[in-house]
């Protein structure tokens, strides 16, 4: 029985050494082994959605309550390619300094593009000062944010991106960061006629 026990221990040790050696070989790629690189690109339809065909009735646009807010964005031209670019930007965490926070992180589609927490969580992981307000129909509102401090949607867009507690991005660095993602050149080309990426274009 003692011999059998020692034999079993010997076989077990050999098996462990074989497995360790196999694992070590798998962890050491050869010089000829290809290095895999992955670029996360948006999965877009072959034919763009017809965003430009969405219209609100005049009776709604002329409502006195809406006019009270100024309706400054009513004249913003919407194209299918421009709206597609905007949608990709909205869901892309690469607009944040650490590549982890997107606009959609706080403006949740399942909650009317608002947040279901009293104080939204941003870059620092701590609750922010306020709840991320819903984004429905902002095109037709003149003043933005809870304190109505910003006039015009194109001025509102960049503030959360550069806010140190929200997305923390240095705006002057943003075009270069997006230029490093190959799909953005195609999207900007389709939306603006050339592939130049700028903060002004991101905001519009």
- Check residue 44 and give its pLDDT: 87
Q: Which pLDDT tens digits describe the chain residue by residue (204 residues)?
A: 444 444 444 434 433 333 334 444 444 444 454 443 445 778 888 889 998 888 777 777 777 766 666 555 556 788 999 999 999 999 999 999 999 999 999 999 999 899 988 899 888 888 888 888 888 877 777 778 888 788 777 888 899 999 998 999 999 999 999 999 999 999 999 999 999 999 999 998
| Whether this model's pTM surpasses 0.85 | no
CA 142/CA 70 separation, integer angstroms: 5
Contacts of 190 (CB under 8 A, 6+ apart): 81, 84, 85
- What are the φ and ψ backbone dihedral angles of 114, each rounded to 5 degrees? -120, -165
- Check residue 124 and give its pLDDT: 85
How many separate helices (H) and strands (E) can be counted in the chain? 9, 2
- Domain 52-203 fold is Cytochrome Bc1 Complex; Chain D, domain 2 (1.10.760)
- Check residue 94 and give its pLDDT: 94
- Check residue 35 and give its pLDDT: 41
Contacts of 144 (CB under 8 A, 6+ apart): 138, 150, 151, 152, 153, 155, 156
CA 139 to chain CA centroid, nearest Å: 20
Asked if residue 120 lies in contact with residue 106, where contact means CB atoms within 8 angstroms, the answer is: yes
């Amino acid at each position: 029985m003692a011999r059998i026990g020692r034999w079993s221990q010997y076989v077990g040790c050999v098996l462990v050494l074989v497995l360790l050696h196999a694992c070590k070989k798998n962890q050491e790629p050869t010089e000829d082994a290809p290095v895999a690189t992955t670029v996360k690109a948006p999965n877009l339809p072959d034919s763009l959605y017809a965003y430009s065909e969405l219209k609100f009735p005049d009776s709604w646009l002329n409502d006195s309550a809406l006019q009270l807010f100024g309706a400054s964005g009513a004249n913003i031209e919407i194209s299918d390619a421009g709206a597609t670019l905007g949608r990709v930007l909205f869901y892309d965490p690469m607009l944040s300094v650490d590549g982890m926070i997107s606009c959609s992180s706080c403006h949740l589609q399942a909650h009317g593009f608002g947040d279901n927490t009293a104080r939204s969580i941003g870059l620092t992981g701590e609750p922010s000062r306020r709840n991320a307000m819903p984004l429905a129909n902002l095109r037709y509102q003149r003043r933005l944010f809870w304190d109505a401090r910003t006039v015009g949607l194109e001025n509102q867009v960049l503030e959360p991106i550069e806010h140190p507690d929200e997305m923390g991005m240095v705006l002057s660095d943003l075009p270069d960061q997006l230029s490093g993602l190959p799909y953005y050149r195609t999207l900007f080309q389709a939306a603006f006629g050339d592939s130049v990426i700028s903060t002004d274009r991101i905001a519009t």
